[in-house]
Each structure stands twice: as structure tokens, then as C-alpha cells.
Structure 1
């Protein structure tokens, strides 16, 4: 086979590979929509489990397809590059491990400039930097924690602080529970005031009822009992 024929064969391989990548991009679009609409929820644990059954993918490969499909929904430039055959699926899969909408453009340039092996190595280094940055951010946030509780001159209690998200969530839950308990207690107190507490706070009074109702005229009247019987809110 002469050199020209080999060149044509190489071009055909490259062209077909680009078509396969474009088809893969379309496949990922379909997987993302199928996953979002929970078409797999017919007895399967996940979209990956359904793919493994229906398409015959290895479970690990199925999970990776679903992961890449989901991430590409937030990375339109990488998705378009795959759909046009500009980047291989291998490159895009690696880049989606670290790419964000803010870094997508830079990582797209990395994918276009290097081989799949270059991209993998850059992604591994990028992830190491991300982990170090995350650790530094975690340490900074940990050092900035604070909680101050003090009483103002008028007796009101003031809370000021900066808490870790999980600790803050617990505090908010505790405050919500305390607020509900106080609300229920206040409701109970209001109900008591309209009944027995009125008689406890107000001693029975001798009243001459200006009425012809039998049993009232000239008798001691328990105010608490009267309110309990007569007031519409006490019924």
C-alpha cells in the first residue's frame, strides 16, 4: 500500500472517530434527559444500573457515562466541542472531573492543545491543587469560627457568630425547635387564662345579677365560672 493510500486510510480513521465522538455527545444528551426524567425508575436503583442492563455496559462505565452526561449539562463549550468532533470522549471525560463554568474555557484550550495522556496528567495535577486549595480554605474557615453571646443593657440577649455550615445548621434547628416549644407553651398559657387561671387570679366576687334568671339573684357568683360559661372564646 503506497503512502497516499495510507494517508487516506488515516484520514478515514480520524474522520470516523470524530463521527463516533459526535454520536457519543448525542448519546450523552439522551442519557442526561433520560436520567433527569427518571426513565430508569422502573425497578432499577439508578440510571447507571438501567444502562448496564439495557445497553450492556460495565457498571463502572455506566456510572461514568451518567456522570459525564450530568456534568456536560453545565459545560456547554465542552459539550459542543465533543459534538463537533473537536475533542475526543476520552479528553472530555477527563476534563469533566475538574471543569467548572468558570474554568471551562481554559480547560477547553488544554484539551485542544494536548493529547489524551497530556490531558489526564494535567487533570491529575489540577485535582491535587484543588485539594490543597480546599484544605487551605477549610483551615481558614475553621480559624475564623466564633460565637459571642452577651446581654445588652436592656436585658435582651444578643448572639453573634460565624459557624461551620453543619454546626450552623444544628443551631438553626435548635432555635426552630425552641421557638416552636415557646409558641406551644404560649398557646397553652392563653388557653389557661381564658379558663381556670381567671378564677385563680381573680377571687370570687359577690354580685347581684340584674336578671331574673333563677339561682343568680343575691347569690355569690364565681367570676371564673361565669366567664367560662358565657364568654364565646371559652366555649
Structure 2
């Protein structure tokens, strides 16, 4: 009889999945999140449809979707943690590890790449001393390359917390991240004023952006987008 020295299936293999069960939120935090969760769930005829905004809600609490956050979502929706984990690990907007105050995404899809996106990404990696998906030591900036965000007419594009910074260059991108890290005011090319990643996550959960003028700053199509219609 022979014996196998092969490891058990999955042993030593990381699937990026959280370890459960998870610790709970402190009572005051859970009470506050439950109030917000009830408001979100009430928007939908089927409660499980609220899972996506609820994941943004717990991401707004800790800056990423933690084991505790996923367990909370499962509990308030009557889902299994496996169902919640399947969704949280599918969508790239949900972070599964601590991230910076500002998610700096460089589009490296075809058009942005050939227009300078690859050069911008390489310049920022060297300038910040981090790789893709990594965060600077001060916790301010997480750098990542991103897929197309439908702004090809303004290529190459950099996004910060999903706000657009159009027609970027390596030098301009370096100045952008330096300003973010120094706390200097930064204004997107178009759209709402910039806010932190946690604040962005709460807005994506469906709560109003109460900053003065933010709701009216959505912007419209720029000249490059409309050129073909003229």
C-alpha cells in the first residue's frame, strides 16, 4: 500500500477569504450601524438587495470590509457569511485589507496606457515606494492600476476615490499625490469635491453628501466628449 504525501486540498493556499467567526462591533458602533442599515434595507422590496450598499456602509466604518463587517451584513440580512463573502470578494471596490485615505487609481487599459498611463503608474510606484495595491507608510495613499472608467476621451486618467483627474502626466501625478499626502487642497477636473475614502464609501452606501455645493458639482460632459456631436 502506498501513502500520499500530498497536502489536503486547499492546505496552504490563500484564497483571500476572511477567517470566521469574526469579533463583533462595540455596542455603540453596532447600534449606530443598525440604524443606518435599517434605513438602507427599507429602500428595497427584498432585503438581500441591500447587500451592496451595506458593504459600503461597513467599509465606511473601518476603511475596508473586515470580517466583522461581513458578519454584520450577514446578520442583519439573514444571509450566510459565505453569501456575503462571495459578493465582497467579487467586486474590486470593496477593499479586503487596510487602505489609505486616498485610493489613487491609474487607468492602464489600452487607450490610457498608450497615452501615458503606464508611464504614470511606473512613476508613481517609484515616487511613492509602493507597488500595486499597496499603501504608503503614512496611511495616506493606496496606489492601484484600474480598469477603464469610461473617460477615454480624457486619457490618460487618474482617479482619486473615484473622482476624475483628466489628461494627467507623470509630473502632474507626482504633484497630485504629494498634495494629498501633505493635506493641501486638491480639486478634481470635474465632479464633486474630493473627500476621504471612508467618506466616499458612506456616500456610495446611499447617504447624502452634505458638504456645501457637493450635490450641485456633478458636472457634465466635457468638450472632448461632445466633439463628435458638433
TM range (shorter): under 0.3
Q: TM-score, normalised by structure 1?
A: 0.23
Larger relative helix fraction: 1
Alignment TM-score, normalising by the size of structure 2:
0.23
Higher relative contact order structure (alpha carbons within 8 Å, sequence separation ≥ 6) = 2
Structure of greater Rg: 1
